[in-house]
């Protein structure tokens, strides 16, 4: 198995210049060229919660398609979490995960075959509160354990965890390895590792990083992170 994954909080496509520009997000994703992408804040917050990256944009201007996770007709994700996979990939299964929270939070999961090899990818955007982050991490880990044995697993997203090794990070570290991608927030001057990629022990990270192109520094307040993964 050789797989490139990426995680990106796109902030509803509102850049550091305060302009909403979905095409700019797609430009950044094309630069990274990952096989599977976890997006956070992929839907607008109010009204119909419409997707920022519309099906037309994805179809005409990208190599990806959205995993069918939206609960509303015009939404792309579940509580803003969305997953993109290459159009050539085969989606085997997908689920929404309900997470404990004071405000609506969720995670999303897809089993996908890329190049004939199956992998499970879980995308998430955790709470601002450390207490609720740990409860949400426990729910995600319980989901992953309940579905095991299964495909090797990648978990990624905006964990909102400012500490280096405590809190929910210590919970995830019991069963998953972290890719050492580096600081991704704030895009103009990244100092915090809020965005994380984690892999199960059946996988190994061979390369990883933070994508810091000129377009990425403007497209959102987070920089995207990426990792290249092989079977351990």
**Among candidate residues 18, 20, 16, 26, the one with its CA nearest the CA of residue 188:** 16
Q: pTM (2 decimals)? A: 0.95
> How far from 86 is each of 30, 44, 76, 90, 113, CA to CA, in Å?
12, 23, 16, 9, 10
pLDDT digits (tens, 9 = 90+) for 142-182: 999 887 667 899 999 999 999 888 899 999 999 999 999 99
pLDDT digits (tens, 9 = 90+) for 205-224: 999 999 999 999 999 999 99
pLDDT digits (tens, 9 = 90+) for 14-61: 999 999 999 999 999 999 999 999 999 999 876 677 899 998 999 999
Q: What is the Cα–Cα distance from 183 to 111, expressed in whole angstroms?
A: 28
- What average pLDDT does the chain have? 93
Q: What is the Cα–Cα distance from 137 to 56, expressed in whole angstroms?
A: 34
Domain boundaries, the chain: 2-231
104 Cβ neighbours under 8 A, 6+ residues apart: 79
Q: What is the Cα–Cα distance from 215 to 27, expressed in whole angstroms?
A: 7
pLDDT digits (tens, 9 = 90+) for 72-124: 768 888 999 999 999 999 999 999 999 998 888 889 999 999 888 899 999 99
**Among candidate residues 5, 25, 4, 3, the one with its CA nearest the CA of residue 14:** 25
Q: Under DSSP, is residue 56 helix (H, G, I), strand (E, B) or coil?
A: helix
Q: What is the Cα–Cα distance from 184 to 120, expressed in whole angstroms?
A: 24
Q: Which CATH number applies to 2-231: 1.10.3720.10, 1.10.12.10, 3.60.10.10, 3.40.1390.10?
A: 3.60.10.10
**Among candidate residues 123, 91, 121, the one with its CA nearest the CA of residue 229:** 121
59 Cβ neighbours under 8 A, 6+ residues apart: 65
């Amino acid at each position: 198995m050789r797989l490139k994954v990426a995680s990106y909080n796109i902030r509803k496509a509102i850049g550091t210049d305060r302009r909403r520009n979905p095409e700019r997000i797609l430009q950044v994703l094309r630069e990274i060229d990952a096989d599977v992408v976890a997006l956070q804040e992929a839907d607008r917050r109010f009204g119909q919660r419409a997707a920022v990256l519309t099906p037309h944009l994805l179809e005409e201007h990208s190599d990806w398609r959205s995993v069918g996770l939206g609960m509303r007709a015009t939404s792309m994700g579940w509580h803003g979490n969305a997953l993109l996979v290459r159009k050539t990939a085969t989606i085997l299964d997908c689920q929404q995960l309900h997470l404990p929270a004071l405000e609506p939070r969720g995670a999303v999961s897809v089993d996908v075959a890329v190049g004939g090899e199956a992998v499970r990818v879980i995308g998430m955007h955790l709470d601002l509160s450390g207490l609720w982050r740990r409860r949400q991490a426990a729910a995600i880990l319980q989901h992953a354990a309940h579905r095991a044995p299964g495909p090797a697993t990648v978990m990624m997203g905006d964990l909102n965890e400012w500490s280096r090794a405590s809190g929910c990070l210590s919970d995830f570290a019991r069963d998953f390895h972290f890719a050492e991608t580096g600081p991704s927030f704030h895009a103009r001057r990244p100092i915090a590792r809020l965005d994380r990629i984690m892999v199960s022990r059946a996988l190994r990270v061979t390369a990883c990083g933070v994508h810091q192109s000129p377009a990425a520094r403007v497209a959102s307040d987070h920089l995207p992170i990426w990792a290249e993964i092989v079977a351990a």
